[in-house]
Amino acid sequence: MPANAANVLEIAAAVVSDPECRLLLVRKHNTSFYMQPGGKIDAGETALEAVCRELNEELGLAVNSDQLSPLGLFTAPAANEPDTMLQAHLFSLVIDEPVEARAEIAEARWVTREEAWQLPLAALTKEYVAVNH
């Protein structure tokens, strides 16, 4: 972790793909980086509960916890918050249903791995998701 990182933010996010192996990336309002859907874990909430709540809030997806597979805990610099590191609980989800950008999400895009590299990617996406999954 960089010495200047003042904060650590614990989040839960989903690596969402479809049957064609495309990746779902989202971009928040007034930002330029594409990333996985997800967000902060609320007090008293598990990472799994948080990712299910965030998928519903951000994309209108009603996801059961048994649809998600844990991928692990990853650390990366936060894309939109300076001097902040993420501790991200990542989960894998495969869906074949439409999504709708809601709440703080300005855009939700299905992309191939090749198309993803043409976009400005958040560090977590670049370091872990686009490379490994």
Q: SS3 string of 43-71?
A: CCCCHHHHHHHHHHHHHCCCCCHHHCEEE
Tell me the pLDDT tens digit for each residue of 24-53. 999 999 999 999 999 999 999 999 999 999
pLDDT at 128: 80
User: What distances in angstroms separate CA 62 from CA 8, 29, 46, 67, 82, one per listed residue?
Assistant: 28, 22, 17, 10, 32
Domains observed in the chain? 7-132 (3.90.79.10)
Quote the pTM value.
0.91
129 vs 95: which has the higher pLDDT: 95
Tell me the pLDDT tens digit for each residue of 57-113. 999 999 999 999 999 999 999 998 889 999 999 999 999 999 999 999 999 999 998
